[in-house]
Amino acid sequence: MPRSREQGCRTRVCCTAMALAVATLLLPLSAAPAAPAQTLTVLHTFSGGGQDGGDPLAGVTMDAAGNLYGTTYGGGANGEGAVYKLAHKGSGWELSPLYNFAHGNGGYAPVAGITIGSDGNLYGTASKGGQFGAGTVYKLSPSPTVCKTVLCPWTETPLYQFTGGSDGGEPDAGLIFDSAGNLYGTTKSGGLAGVNGVVFELMPSGSGWTESVLHTFSIRPDGANPYSALTFDGNGNLYGTTLGGGTGFGTVYELMPSGSGWTEQVLYVFQGTNDGAYPYAGVVLDRDGNVYGAAEYEGAGGGTIFELTPSNGNWLFSVIYNPMEASLPFGTLARSSSGTLYGTFNMGGIPFSCGGEGCGAVFQLTPSNGGWVYTALYEFTGGADGGGPMGGLILDSSGNLYGTTAGLAFGPGSVFELAP
Protein backbone atom coordinates (compact mmCIF):
# COMPACT_ATOMS: atom_id res chain seq x y z
CA MET A 1 0.00 0.00 0.00
CA PRO A 2 1.50 3.38 -0.96
CA ARG A 3 2.63 5.59 1.87
CA SER A 4 0.73 8.73 2.72
CA ARG A 5 2.55 12.06 2.53
CA GLU A 6 3.01 11.98 6.29
CA GLN A 7 4.57 8.56 5.97
CA GLY A 8 6.65 10.00 3.14
CA CYS A 9 8.34 12.27 5.68
CA ARG A 10 11.85 10.99 6.36
CA THR A 11 11.79 8.52 9.21
CA ARG A 12 15.10 9.76 10.61
CA VAL A 13 15.30 13.22 9.10
CA CYS A 14 11.78 14.59 9.28
CA CYS A 15 12.87 18.20 9.88
CA THR A 16 12.38 19.71 6.44
CA ALA A 17 9.86 17.95 4.27
CA MET A 18 7.85 14.78 4.16
CA ALA A 19 8.20 14.56 2.14
CA LEU A 20 1.87 11.06 -18.54
CA ALA A 21 3.94 8.37 -19.49
CA VAL A 22 3.56 6.92 -22.97
CA ALA A 23 5.31 3.73 -21.90
CA THR A 24 6.90 2.33 -18.78
CA LEU A 25 9.91 0.24 -19.67
CA LEU A 26 12.14 -1.67 -17.30
CA LEU A 27 15.71 -1.69 -18.60
CA PRO A 28 17.90 -4.75 -17.95
CA LEU A 29 20.06 -4.35 -14.85
CA SER A 30 23.30 -6.24 -14.55
CA ALA A 31 24.11 -7.99 -11.31
CA ALA A 32 25.94 -5.72 -8.90
CA PRO A 33 29.66 -6.49 -8.82
CA ALA A 34 31.77 -6.43 -5.72
CA ALA A 35 32.44 -2.83 -4.71
CA PRO A 36 35.81 -1.54 -5.94
CA ALA A 37 38.32 -0.26 -3.42
CA GLN A 38 37.18 3.20 -2.32
CA THR A 39 38.75 5.43 0.29
CA LEU A 40 36.43 7.62 2.35
CA THR A 41 37.98 10.55 4.16
CA VAL A 42 35.99 12.67 6.60
CA LEU A 43 37.02 16.25 5.82
CA HIS A 44 35.10 17.80 8.72
CA THR A 45 32.82 16.61 11.50
CA PHE A 46 30.44 19.35 12.64
CA SER A 47 30.26 20.34 16.28
CA GLY A 48 26.53 21.08 16.23
CA GLY A 49 26.85 23.78 18.87
CA GLY A 50 29.75 25.79 17.47
CA GLN A 51 30.02 28.35 14.71
CA ASP A 52 30.61 25.64 12.12
CA GLY A 53 26.99 24.48 12.46
CA GLY A 54 25.35 21.08 12.40
CA ASP A 55 23.06 18.87 10.29
CA PRO A 56 24.04 19.60 6.67
CA LEU A 57 21.00 18.55 4.67
CA ALA A 58 22.44 19.67 1.32
CA GLY A 59 25.61 18.63 -0.45
CA VAL A 60 28.58 20.87 -1.17
CA THR A 61 29.63 23.18 -4.03
CA MET A 62 33.20 23.45 -5.35
CA ASP A 63 34.84 26.60 -6.73
CA ALA A 64 37.55 26.75 -9.42
CA ALA A 65 40.29 26.55 -6.77
CA GLY A 66 38.89 23.33 -5.27
CA ASN A 67 37.39 24.91 -2.16
CA LEU A 68 34.10 23.49 -0.87
CA TYR A 69 31.11 25.53 0.32
CA GLY A 70 27.96 24.40 2.06
CA THR A 71 25.24 25.08 4.61
CA THR A 72 23.98 23.48 7.80
CA TYR A 73 20.32 23.44 8.76
CA GLY A 74 21.06 23.92 12.45
CA GLY A 75 23.86 24.77 14.79
CA GLY A 76 26.00 27.84 14.39
CA ALA A 77 26.40 30.63 16.91
CA ASN A 78 22.63 31.17 17.06
CA GLY A 79 21.44 27.61 16.56
CA GLU A 80 19.75 28.58 13.28
CA GLY A 81 22.22 27.26 10.71
CA ALA A 82 25.48 28.32 9.12
CA VAL A 83 27.41 28.72 5.87
CA TYR A 84 30.93 27.30 5.77
CA LYS A 85 33.99 26.97 3.52
CA LEU A 86 36.43 24.06 3.49
CA ALA A 87 39.88 24.70 2.02
CA HIS A 88 43.01 22.58 1.69
CA LYS A 89 45.56 23.20 4.40
CA GLY A 90 48.68 21.07 4.27
CA SER A 91 47.59 17.46 3.93
CA GLY A 92 44.13 18.16 5.38
CA TRP A 93 41.23 20.56 5.21
CA GLU A 94 40.35 23.60 7.31
CA LEU A 95 36.81 24.87 7.87
CA SER A 96 36.03 28.59 7.96
CA PRO A 97 32.60 29.66 9.26
CA LEU A 98 31.39 32.31 6.80
CA TYR A 99 27.98 33.20 8.24
CA ASN A 100 25.70 32.25 11.13
CA PHE A 101 21.97 32.63 10.53
CA ALA A 102 19.63 34.23 13.06
CA HIS A 103 15.99 35.24 13.25
CA GLY A 104 15.53 38.39 11.23
CA ASN A 105 15.21 39.65 7.68
CA GLY A 106 18.06 37.48 6.45
CA GLY A 107 16.21 34.24 7.14
CA TYR A 108 17.42 31.06 8.81
CA ALA A 109 17.36 27.24 8.66
CA PRO A 110 18.85 26.74 5.18
CA VAL A 111 17.91 23.41 3.62
CA ALA A 112 19.57 24.11 0.26
CA GLY A 113 23.24 24.40 -0.53
CA ILE A 114 25.27 27.23 -2.07
CA THR A 115 25.43 28.64 -5.61
CA ILE A 116 28.61 30.50 -6.54
CA GLY A 117 28.07 33.60 -8.66
CA SER A 118 30.41 34.85 -11.37
CA ASP A 119 30.97 37.87 -9.11
CA GLY A 120 32.52 35.67 -6.41
CA ASN A 121 29.56 36.06 -4.08
CA LEU A 122 27.60 33.12 -2.66
CA TYR A 123 23.85 32.80 -3.21
CA GLY A 124 21.31 30.64 -1.44
CA THR A 125 17.90 30.27 0.16
CA ALA A 126 16.79 30.20 3.78
CA SER A 127 13.64 28.17 4.34
CA LYS A 128 12.38 30.23 7.29
CA GLY A 129 12.43 33.76 8.60
CA GLY A 130 12.64 37.01 6.75
CA GLN A 131 10.29 39.93 7.21
CA PHE A 132 7.21 37.78 6.59
CA GLY A 133 8.46 34.52 8.08
CA ALA A 134 8.27 32.66 4.76
CA GLY A 135 11.97 32.45 3.91
CA THR A 136 14.44 34.43 1.85
CA VAL A 137 16.92 34.47 -1.00
CA TYR A 138 20.26 35.81 0.22
CA LYS A 139 23.71 36.84 -1.01
CA LEU A 140 26.95 36.47 0.96
CA SER A 141 29.87 38.76 0.11
CA PRO A 142 33.48 38.27 1.29
CA SER A 143 35.28 40.73 3.48
CA PRO A 144 36.87 43.55 1.43
CA THR A 145 40.11 43.05 3.37
CA VAL A 146 42.34 39.99 3.57
CA CYS A 147 41.48 37.80 6.54
CA LYS A 148 44.30 36.40 8.65
CA THR A 149 42.16 33.90 10.60
CA VAL A 150 39.44 31.39 9.75
CA LEU A 151 36.94 33.50 11.73
CA CYS A 152 36.30 36.10 9.06
CA PRO A 153 32.52 36.45 8.55
CA TRP A 154 31.01 37.38 5.22
CA THR A 155 28.27 39.99 4.82
CA GLU A 156 24.74 38.78 4.18
CA THR A 157 22.29 40.73 1.99
CA PRO A 158 18.65 39.58 1.66
CA LEU A 159 17.78 39.74 -2.05
CA TYR A 160 14.12 38.75 -1.63
CA GLN A 161 11.82 38.02 1.29
CA PHE A 162 8.88 35.75 0.51
CA THR A 163 5.43 36.64 1.83
CA GLY A 164 4.00 33.11 1.67
CA GLY A 165 1.29 34.35 -0.70
CA SER A 166 1.21 34.33 -4.49
CA ASP A 167 4.97 34.97 -4.63
CA GLY A 168 5.76 31.70 -2.88
CA GLY A 169 7.07 30.65 0.50
CA GLU A 170 9.55 28.32 2.23
CA PRO A 171 12.26 27.89 -0.40
CA ASP A 172 13.96 24.56 0.30
CA ALA A 173 15.78 24.32 -3.03
CA GLY A 174 19.00 25.83 -4.31
CA LEU A 175 19.35 28.44 -7.04
CA ILE A 176 20.67 28.48 -10.60
CA PHE A 177 21.84 31.38 -12.77
CA ASP A 178 21.17 32.02 -16.44
CA SER A 179 23.73 33.66 -18.73
CA ALA A 180 22.22 37.11 -18.06
CA GLY A 181 22.72 36.83 -14.29
CA ASN A 182 19.10 36.13 -13.37
CA LEU A 183 18.37 33.63 -10.58
CA TYR A 184 15.80 30.81 -10.71
CA GLY A 185 14.39 28.67 -7.94
CA THR A 186 11.34 27.03 -6.38
CA THR A 187 9.33 27.32 -3.18
CA LYS A 188 7.53 24.42 -1.57
CA SER A 189 4.58 26.54 -0.42
CA GLY A 190 2.83 29.75 -1.35
CA GLY A 191 1.24 30.22 -4.73
CA LEU A 192 -2.28 28.87 -5.25
CA ALA A 193 -4.11 28.83 -1.90
CA GLY A 194 -0.72 29.46 -0.32
CA VAL A 195 0.19 25.77 -0.21
CA ASN A 196 1.25 24.36 -3.60
CA GLY A 197 4.46 26.22 -4.37
CA VAL A 198 5.87 28.18 -7.31
CA VAL A 199 8.80 28.49 -9.72
CA PHE A 200 10.30 31.98 -9.56
CA GLU A 201 12.88 34.20 -11.24
CA LEU A 202 14.83 37.02 -9.61
CA MET A 203 16.19 39.73 -11.91
CA PRO A 204 18.69 42.43 -10.92
CA SER A 205 16.85 45.75 -10.94
CA GLY A 206 18.76 48.89 -10.01
CA SER A 207 20.15 48.34 -6.54
CA GLY A 208 17.74 45.47 -5.81
CA TRP A 209 16.09 42.43 -7.33
CA THR A 210 12.61 41.92 -8.79
CA GLU A 211 10.74 38.63 -8.44
CA SER A 212 8.57 37.11 -11.18
CA VAL A 213 6.52 33.95 -10.68
CA LEU A 214 7.04 31.74 -13.74
CA HIS A 215 4.62 29.01 -12.70
CA THR A 216 2.19 28.37 -9.86
CA PHE A 217 1.42 24.71 -9.17
CA SER A 218 -2.18 23.53 -9.05
CA ILE A 219 -1.80 19.94 -7.74
CA ARG A 220 -3.42 18.30 -10.80
CA PRO A 221 -1.99 17.54 -13.25
CA ASP A 222 1.21 19.55 -12.79
CA GLY A 223 2.02 18.64 -9.20
CA ALA A 224 2.58 20.49 -5.95
CA ASN A 225 5.34 21.30 -3.46
CA PRO A 226 8.63 21.37 -5.37
CA TYR A 227 11.56 20.71 -3.05
CA SER A 228 14.21 20.40 -5.75
CA ALA A 229 16.39 22.88 -7.60
CA LEU A 230 15.89 23.49 -11.30
CA THR A 231 18.04 22.38 -14.24
CA PHE A 232 18.53 24.18 -17.57
CA ASP A 233 18.89 22.43 -20.91
CA GLY A 234 20.82 23.88 -23.84
CA ASN A 235 17.73 25.66 -25.16
CA GLY A 236 16.94 27.56 -21.98
CA ASN A 237 14.15 25.25 -20.81
CA LEU A 238 13.85 24.47 -17.10
CA TYR A 239 13.29 21.01 -15.59
CA GLY A 240 12.28 20.02 -12.07
CA THR A 241 10.20 17.75 -9.86
CA THR A 242 7.37 18.13 -7.39
CA LEU A 243 7.19 16.00 -4.27
CA GLY A 244 3.40 15.78 -4.38
CA GLY A 245 0.46 16.49 -6.62
CA GLY A 246 -0.41 14.79 -9.87
CA THR A 247 -2.05 11.60 -8.67
CA GLY A 248 -0.65 12.37 -5.22
CA PHE A 249 2.84 10.93 -5.74
CA GLY A 250 4.67 13.75 -7.52
CA THR A 251 5.63 14.78 -11.04
CA VAL A 252 8.49 15.70 -13.38
CA TYR A 253 7.89 18.92 -15.33
CA GLU A 254 9.46 21.20 -17.94
CA LEU A 255 9.04 24.97 -18.29
CA MET A 256 9.62 26.49 -21.73
CA PRO A 257 9.99 30.23 -22.52
CA SER A 258 6.94 31.28 -24.51
CA GLY A 259 6.56 34.89 -25.60
CA SER A 260 6.57 36.99 -22.46
CA GLY A 261 5.86 34.01 -20.19
CA TRP A 262 6.57 30.34 -19.66
CA THR A 263 4.63 27.23 -20.68
CA GLU A 264 4.66 24.13 -18.50
CA GLN A 265 4.67 20.55 -19.80
CA VAL A 266 4.21 17.62 -17.44
CA LEU A 267 6.72 14.95 -18.46
CA TYR A 268 5.61 12.28 -16.00
CA VAL A 269 3.10 11.73 -13.23
CA PHE A 270 4.15 9.13 -10.65
CA GLN A 271 1.65 6.41 -9.80
CA GLY A 272 3.13 5.30 -6.48
CA THR A 273 3.68 1.72 -7.65
CA ASN A 274 6.70 0.19 -9.41
CA ASP A 275 7.58 3.58 -10.89
CA GLY A 276 8.26 5.13 -7.48
CA ALA A 277 6.79 7.99 -5.49
CA TYR A 278 7.67 11.41 -4.05
CA PRO A 279 10.64 12.67 -6.08
CA TYR A 280 12.44 14.89 -3.59
CA ALA A 281 15.58 15.13 -5.75
CA GLY A 282 15.98 17.26 -8.85
CA VAL A 283 16.98 15.94 -12.27
CA VAL A 284 20.07 15.91 -14.49
CA LEU A 285 20.19 15.83 -18.30
CA ASP A 286 22.55 14.24 -20.80
CA ARG A 287 23.58 15.60 -24.20
CA ASP A 288 20.70 13.82 -25.92
CA GLY A 289 18.09 15.48 -23.70
CA ASN A 290 17.39 12.42 -21.57
CA VAL A 291 16.36 13.23 -18.00
CA TYR A 292 17.56 11.27 -14.95
CA GLY A 293 16.24 11.44 -11.41
CA ALA A 294 15.28 9.60 -8.23
CA ALA A 295 12.00 8.94 -6.44
CA GLU A 296 12.43 8.37 -2.73
CA TYR A 297 9.70 5.77 -2.08
CA GLU A 298 7.87 2.77 -3.55
CA GLY A 299 9.21 0.86 -6.55
CA ALA A 300 10.15 -2.77 -5.97
CA GLY A 301 12.29 -1.80 -2.99
CA GLY A 302 13.21 1.57 -1.50
CA GLY A 303 12.49 4.08 -4.25
CA THR A 304 13.58 4.18 -7.89
CA ILE A 305 16.23 5.68 -10.16
CA PHE A 306 14.53 6.64 -13.42
CA GLU A 307 15.13 7.96 -16.93
CA LEU A 308 12.81 10.00 -19.17
CA THR A 309 13.53 9.85 -22.89
CA PRO A 310 12.01 12.27 -25.46
CA SER A 311 10.19 10.42 -28.24
CA ASN A 312 8.18 12.13 -31.00
CA GLY A 313 6.86 14.87 -28.76
CA ASN A 314 6.19 12.52 -25.85
CA TRP A 315 8.33 11.10 -23.07
CA LEU A 316 9.11 7.46 -22.29
CA PHE A 317 9.58 6.65 -18.60
CA SER A 318 11.99 3.88 -17.58
CA VAL A 319 13.03 2.59 -14.19
CA ILE A 320 16.77 1.99 -14.52
CA TYR A 321 17.32 0.78 -10.97
CA ASN A 322 15.14 -0.57 -8.17
CA PRO A 323 17.20 -0.44 -4.96
CA MET A 324 16.76 -3.50 -2.78
CA GLU A 325 19.77 -3.26 -0.44
CA ALA A 326 19.30 0.45 0.28
CA SER A 327 16.54 3.05 0.16
CA LEU A 328 15.51 6.71 0.22
CA PRO A 329 17.52 8.42 -2.54
CA PHE A 330 16.95 12.07 -1.56
CA GLY A 331 19.85 13.79 -3.33
CA THR A 332 19.99 14.86 -6.97
CA LEU A 333 22.15 12.54 -9.04
CA ALA A 334 25.59 13.53 -10.32
CA ARG A 335 26.55 12.53 -13.87
CA SER A 336 30.05 12.10 -15.28
CA SER A 337 31.08 12.95 -18.85
CA SER A 338 31.00 9.21 -19.64
CA GLY A 339 27.38 8.92 -18.53
CA THR A 340 27.91 7.22 -15.16
CA LEU A 341 25.41 8.31 -12.50
CA TYR A 342 26.34 8.78 -8.83
CA GLY A 343 24.03 9.15 -5.85
CA THR A 344 23.35 8.47 -2.19
CA PHE A 345 20.85 6.42 -0.21
CA ASN A 346 19.73 7.72 3.18
CA MET A 347 19.12 4.22 4.59
CA GLY A 348 20.23 0.64 3.98
CA GLY A 349 23.66 -0.67 3.21
CA ILE A 350 25.34 -2.62 6.02
CA PRO A 351 22.69 -4.97 7.49
CA PHE A 352 21.59 -4.37 11.07
CA SER A 353 23.55 -1.11 11.37
CA CYS A 354 21.93 2.08 12.66
CA GLY A 355 19.11 0.37 14.52
CA GLY A 356 18.60 -2.22 11.82
CA GLU A 357 17.69 0.33 9.12
CA GLY A 358 21.18 0.69 7.70
CA CYS A 359 23.22 3.89 7.68
CA GLY A 360 23.03 4.68 3.97
CA ALA A 361 25.36 4.30 1.01
CA VAL A 362 27.06 5.93 -1.96
CA PHE A 363 26.43 4.23 -5.31
CA GLN A 364 27.13 4.43 -9.01
CA LEU A 365 25.14 3.28 -12.05
CA THR A 366 27.18 2.64 -15.18
CA PRO A 367 25.54 2.27 -18.62
CA SER A 368 26.42 -1.09 -20.16
CA ASN A 369 24.97 -2.96 -23.18
CA GLY A 370 21.61 -1.22 -23.05
CA GLY A 371 21.29 -1.62 -19.30
CA TRP A 372 22.90 -0.32 -16.13
CA VAL A 373 25.44 -1.85 -13.74
CA TYR A 374 24.89 -0.96 -10.09
CA THR A 375 27.88 -0.70 -7.75
CA ALA A 376 27.82 0.18 -4.06
CA LEU A 377 30.87 2.42 -3.63
CA TYR A 378 30.63 2.91 0.13
CA GLU A 379 28.29 1.88 2.94
CA PHE A 380 28.23 4.06 6.05
CA THR A 381 28.67 2.53 9.48
CA GLY A 382 27.15 5.26 11.66
CA GLY A 383 30.47 5.65 13.46
CA ALA A 384 33.16 8.22 12.72
CA ASP A 385 32.13 8.19 9.06
CA GLY A 386 28.57 9.28 9.93
CA GLY A 387 25.45 8.13 8.17
CA GLY A 388 22.14 9.13 6.67
CA PRO A 389 23.30 11.20 3.66
CA MET A 390 20.53 13.37 2.22
CA GLY A 391 22.32 15.67 -0.19
CA GLY A 392 23.62 14.94 -3.65
CA LEU A 393 27.24 14.45 -4.68
CA ILE A 394 29.70 16.43 -6.76
CA LEU A 395 32.49 14.97 -8.87
CA ASP A 396 35.89 16.62 -9.42
CA SER A 397 38.18 16.25 -12.43
CA SER A 398 40.14 13.47 -10.71
CA GLY A 399 37.07 11.33 -10.13
CA ASN A 400 36.75 12.08 -6.42
CA LEU A 401 33.25 12.41 -4.98
CA TYR A 402 32.26 14.91 -2.29
CA GLY A 403 29.14 14.93 -0.13
CA THR A 404 27.71 15.25 3.35
CA THR A 405 26.11 13.05 5.98
CA ALA A 406 23.02 14.66 7.44
CA GLY A 407 23.74 13.98 11.10
CA LEU A 408 20.62 14.14 13.27
CA ALA A 409 20.52 10.48 14.29
CA PHE A 410 24.31 10.16 13.92
CA GLY A 411 25.59 13.35 15.56
CA PRO A 412 25.85 16.73 13.86
CA GLY A 413 26.94 15.39 10.45
CA SER A 414 30.07 15.59 8.31
CA VAL A 415 31.61 16.43 4.94
CA PHE A 416 33.36 13.54 3.19
CA GLU A 417 35.51 12.77 0.18
CA LEU A 418 35.32 9.39 -1.56
CA ALA A 419 38.37 8.63 -3.69
CA PRO A 420 38.58 5.80 -6.24
Domains of the chain (ranges; CATH) run 20-419 (2.130.10.10)
Residue 35 pLDDT:
52
Residue 186 to residue 402: CA distance in whole angstroms: 25
- CB atoms inside a 10 Å sphere around CB 114: 25
What pLDDT score was predicted for residue 411?
75
- Cβ(348)–Cβ(358) below 8 Å: yes
Q: How confident is the model at residue 207, as a pLDDT?
A: 87
pLDDT score for 177: 98
pLDDT of residue 20: 30
The pLDDT assigned to 123 comes to 98
| DSSP E strands, 322-384 | 326-327, 334-335, 341-345, 347-348, 361-368, 371-379
Contact 33, 303 (CB under 8 A): no
> One digit per residue, pLDDT tens: the chain, 420 residues?
333 333 334 444 443 333 333 333 333 333 344 455 689 999 999 998 889 999 999 999 999 999 999 999 999 999 999 999 999 999 999 999 999 999 989 999 999 999 999 999 999 999 999 999 999 999 999 987 777 666 778 999 999 999 999 999 999 999 999 999 999 999 999 998 899 999 999 999 988 999 999 999 999 999 999 999 999 999 999 999 999 999 999 999 999 999 889 999 999 999 999 999 999 999 999 999 999 999 999 998 799 999 999 999 999 999 999 998 899 999 999 999 999 999 999 999 998 888 888 999 999 999 999 999 999 999 999 999 999 999 999 999 999 999 999 865 667 999 999 998
Q: Are 213 and 169 in contact (CB under 8 A)?
A: no
pLDDT of residue 236: 97
DSSP characters over 268-323: EE--SSTT-B---S--EE-TT--EEEEESB-TTTB-EEEEEEEETTEEEEEEEE--
Question: pLDDT value at position 36?
Answer: 58
**Which residues are CB-contacts of 369 (< 8 A; sequence separation ≥ 6)?**
28, 30
Task: Give the HSE-up count for residue 2: Cα atoms under 13 Å, Cβ half-sphere.
Answer: 18
Q: How confident is the model at residue 38, as a pLDDT? A: 84
pLDDT of residue 353: 85
Quick one: residue 303, left, alpha or beta (phi over 0 = left, psi -120 to 50 = alpha)?
left
